[in-house]
Amino acid sequence: MALAQFAKKAVAGLGLRCGTPLLSEGGSALRGLLGSRSYSLVPEVLKYSEDHEWVQVEGDIAVVGITDHAQAELGDLVHVELPEVGSSIAAGDAFGVVESVKAASDVIAPVDGEVVEINKDLMDDASMINNEPYGDGWMIKVKLTNKGQLDGLMDAAAYTSFCEGQ
């Protein structure tokens, strides 16, 4: 039990939330912490869409990627298609594709804007999204054309509840 409390404090101290509990009732602490990924990380500092994309705002630039929950559901990613720099994207429209060993899925833009940078490293190693969905696995950077759209996205608590309800 002490290990579970320590783990929860450590995760909270990093500004992260777990989408589901680390431990099941009566489960082993070691199995819960070291077993297969049975939880999703949800950083507090990001915004989230219902399509499982995340947004981090840096001035008038939005960094966009898919969530830990999404990559876990897709499985091992093998290919990524991203838009060209300079192209416009619109909230609710597909801007890319991620392909896994299980399926291919459109990536839906959470905001409107102009693509100012893509993560070219993903073209050679799509698994970066699996390994670090909120770090090196980012997909595009977008110059926002309507910052008000950010208000329509979920915070970490709302996204966690959304995922639990699916």
pLDDT band at 2 (very low <50, low <70, confident <90, very high): very low
Domain count, the chain: 2
6 & 68 share domain? no
d(CA 111, CA 64): 9
Q: Which residue stretches of the chain are H helix?
A: 2-13, 29-34, 68-74, 121-124, 127-131, 156-164
**Spatial contact of 64 and 51, defined as CB atoms under 8 Å apart:** no
pLDDT of residue 26: 33
89 & 118 share domain? yes
pLDDT band at 102 (very low <50, low <70, confident <90, very high): confident
72 & 22 share domain? no
Q: What is the pTM of this model?
A: 0.77
- Let me know if residue 166 belongs to a domain: no
Give the pLDDT confidence of 41-54 residue by residue, as tens digits: 899 999 999 999 99
